[in-house]
Amino acid sequence: MSETWKKIKKNRQLYLFILPAFLVILIFSYIPMYGIIIAFKDYVPALGIWGSPWVGFKHFQRFFDSYYFWDLLKNTLGISIYSLIVGFPLPIILALALNELKDGKFKKITQTVTYAPNFISVVVMVGMIVAFLNPSTGLINHVLDFLGFERMDFMSDPKWFKTVYVLSGVWQSTGWSSVIYLAALSGVDPELHEAAVVDGASRLRRIWHINLPTIRPTMVILLIMSVGSIMSLGHEKILLMQNPLNLESSNVISTFVYQQGLLDAQYSYATAVGLFNSVINAILLISVNKVADKLNETSLF
């Protein structure tokens, strides 16, 4: 015991270094976790979290029974899976393609330009989407018109919402997401390539049999992380893109929580819905992690 105490005493200044971060995390991450219990209560601000009466699963029941439950679930899963299928492979392809270039001007320009949209804020991004898709003045509609198609009002048509959301996301983040894969590719052993060339392997074959297997652990980790966040869909962007006309396909669980909780002040109900969301998320994360662990022996934890 005194041994431990000695170690702690020796590091006392280091504990002071940790203290601010510890307090911030304790207060702003752990206390809200405790606050989740209001999902099982009828929260009355005057009574506080602990003093409010317990109601069991009432709020969950109400959510499952509501007519919008299936729509919300369908939209949340639909948008996530759509963006996963389109958005996951593209950074890998971009990184593999960039990796085949010699370090020159073209490579540098392509990288600089494709990374750049990552630094555009969500608000500006949605502003761009709205401006480009404007039925009478937007760029996309001018192109459609020029090619002989009919002009479309993308933002007020529920059919288009998911596609607009996903493709704009791809435009903004593919370049930046490829950075991690490029880093992993720089670890490929050149001798493997030399040996493969001696055996007569083409570039394509070498990409397939050498480069891809090398970055597979990175791919698996990133895939697990994106599946794990399937339900916690970017409410920041969706909230900005939402309008009453496209609500049918743009209403997802996280924007619903914002609307019920903060605009309508139904704290307990919104917390319950949010908790449902997190539980599904955790189940997805754990199961994908398990599967990846079995198949690939790569896992997040």
- When the beta carbons of 74 and 205 are compared against other proteins, the nearer one is 205
CA pseudo-torsion sign 8, 9, 14, 19: positive
Residues numbered 262 to 301 that lie near other proteins (CB under 8 A) are: 262-263, 267, 270-271, 274-275, 277-278, 282, 285
Residue 8 lies near other proteins (rule: CB under 8 A): yes
What's the chain's Rg over C-alpha atoms? 25
* Cα–Cα distance for residue pair 243/260, rounded to 1 Å: 16
* Cα–Cα distance for residue pair 144/168, rounded to 1 Å: 18
Residue 2 lies near other proteins (rule: CB under 8 A): no
DSSP string, 103-117: SSHHHHHHHHHHHGG
Residues numbered 225 to 244 that lie near other proteins (CB under 8 A) are: 228, 235-236, 239-240, 242-244
Residues numbered 139 to 168 that lie near other proteins (CB under 8 A) are: 139, 142, 145-146, 155
* Cα–Cα distance for residue pair 233/235, rounded to 1 Å: 6
Q: Which of 82, 88, 132, 160 binds other proteins (CB under 8 A)?
A: 132
Residue 20 beta carbon to other proteins: minimum distance, rounded to whole angstroms: 5
Residue 251 beta carbon to other proteins: minimum distance, rounded to whole angstroms: 13
Residue 31 beta carbon to other proteins: minimum distance, rounded to whole angstroms: 6
Number of residues that bind other proteins (CB under 8 A): 108
Q: Which of 1, 2, 13, 65 binds other proteins (CB under 8 A)?
A: 13
Q: Which of 1, 2, 20, 46 binds other proteins (CB under 8 A)?
A: 20
Residue 219 beta carbon to other proteins: minimum distance, rounded to whole angstroms: 12
Q: Map residue 270 onto helix, strand or coil.
A: helix
* Cα–Cα distance for residue pair 263/15, rounded to 1 Å: 41
Residues numbered 99 to 128 that lie near other proteins (CB under 8 A) are: 99-103, 106, 109-110, 112-117, 119-124, 126-128
Q: Residues 255-259: contacts with CB within 8 Å, 24+ apart?
A: 256/68, 256/72
Residue 69 beta carbon to other proteins: minimum distance, rounded to whole angstroms: 18
Residue 169 lies near other proteins (rule: CB under 8 A): no
Extract the tokens encoding 114. 């494709």
169 to 49, 122, 177: CA distances (angstroms): 38, 10, 11
Residue 223 lies near other proteins (rule: CB under 8 A): no
Residue 122 beta carbon to other proteins: minimum distance, rounded to whole angstroms: 7
* Cα–Cα distance for residue pair 101/108, rounded to 1 Å: 10
Total count of residues recorded for the chain: 301
Extract the tokens encoding 92. 């890998």
Residue 57 beta carbon to other proteins: minimum distance, rounded to whole angstroms: 17
Residue 29 beta carbon to other proteins: minimum distance, rounded to whole angstroms: 4
Please identify, among the stretches 55-63, 158-166, 170-178, 290-298, the one whose residues bind other proteins according to the rule CB under 8 A. Answer: 170-178
Asked whether the beta carbons of 19 and 252 are under 8 A apart, the reply is: no
Q: Across the strands, what pairs with 41?
A: 54
Instruction: Output phi, psi for 41, to 5 deg.
Output: -130, 170
- When the beta carbons of 75 and 218 are compared against other proteins, the nearer one is 218
Residues numbered 31 to 70 that lie near other proteins (CB under 8 A) are: 31-36, 38, 43, 49
The type of residue at 93 is I
Residues numbered 190 to 209 that lie near other proteins (CB under 8 A) are: 190, 193-194, 197, 202-204
